[in-house]
Amino acid sequence: MESVTLKVSGMSCGHCVKAVEGSVGKLNGVDRVAVDLDNGQVQIHFDSSAVSLEQIKETIDDQGYDVK
């Protein structure tokens, strides 16, 4: 398992948390997703042999948020 913390802008409310955690959490290989609204961060634990970091970033981007 790998762990990464991404800086994500545009998240401001509970709906944002649900959108990001729900969409990324559904990806095959993602074990855990935690959004920190105050710091604009998303921490993800995932199996890099099942899902790439690029796929995770694209999923967040598809929800309308900017990954730094």
Domain range summary for the chain, segments of one domain joined by +: 2-67
* Separation between Cα atoms, residue 5 and residue 31, nearest integer Å: 14
Average model confidence (pLDDT) across the chain: 96
What are 7-32's pLDDT values in tens digits?
999 999 999 999 999 999 999 999 99
Topology of domain 2-67, per CATH? Alpha-Beta Plaits (3.30.70)
Task: Name the β-bridge partners of 46.
Answer: 2, 30
* Residue range 26-51: mean pLDDT, rounded: 97
Asked if 20 and 65 touch (Cβ cutoff 8 Å), the reply is: yes
